[in-house]
Amino acid sequence: MIYAAEKFDFPKLPFVFIRHGETDANRAGIIAGSNEPPLNETGRDQAIAIAPLMAQASWRAVYVSPQDRARTTASLVLPDYEAKVLDGLRERHWGDLEGRPISELCPRFDTPPNGEGFDAMCQRVSFAMQQALAEVSDDLTVIVAHSGVARCILYMTGFEADGPRVPNATPILFRPTQTGWEYEYLTETLIKEISA
């Protein structure tokens, strides 16, 4: 099997990833995929709650999925930034499984009936990340997208694609190292470090 990081042209630049806030589909354990469930009240509160942390740094740019739950999250988390939409950051299309319980998901690397394969999704996420990280800057880029996009990013940076979902509305700092990648939840201490 080819190591994931060698299969995809993933830029080796640090960035912050945020999964959108909670939706009713998330709460109910339903596969949303290409559907458009809006943020629920909890999801909006989650996004608003991390805005003060994110306001402590200057960001180069904010890139967002075209889907409403991600765009709304970006507008609540970073209201002073105009988020740039990248179609490649949209959630995986789960085909006939959309609207079904998460317990019915097919294995990660299988293609769901009438849906999108994981490698195909990662190819488009890789291209979107190349666009988002094309400009080197002292200020980091913020990506606001989905659980499936986070899985692709983890996979392409050498981590497990099948681990737990990343939490809603929780900023995660990804940084390249000499031997690969590391990631950790963003804190005030890390904000000061990356802003220094």
CA distance 83 to 13: 19
- Whether the CB-CB separation of 168 and 70 falls below 8 Å is answered with no
Going by DSSP bridges, is the β-strand pair 61-64/84-85 parallel, antiparallel, or unpaired?
parallel
143 token code pair? 């990506």
Candidate list 22, 91, 98, 116, residue with the active-site label: 91
CA distances 50 to 107, 153, 174, 179, Å, are 33, 21, 17, 31
DSSP-derived secondary structure letter, 101: B
Q: DSSP alpha helices (H): ranges in the chain?
A: 4-7, 24-28, 41-54, 68-77, 118-132, 147-156, 188-195
Can you tell me whether residue 15 is helix, strand or coil? strand
- CB under 8 Å to 120, separation ≥6 — which residues? 111
Using CA atoms, how far apart are residues 102 and 32, in angstroms rounded to an integer? 9
For the question of residue 91 being annotated catalytic, the response is: yes
Q: Which helix (H) or strand (E) holds 64?
A: strand 61-64
Place of tokens 């890139």: 63
Does 93 qualify as catalytic in the annotation? no
Catalytic residues: 20, 91
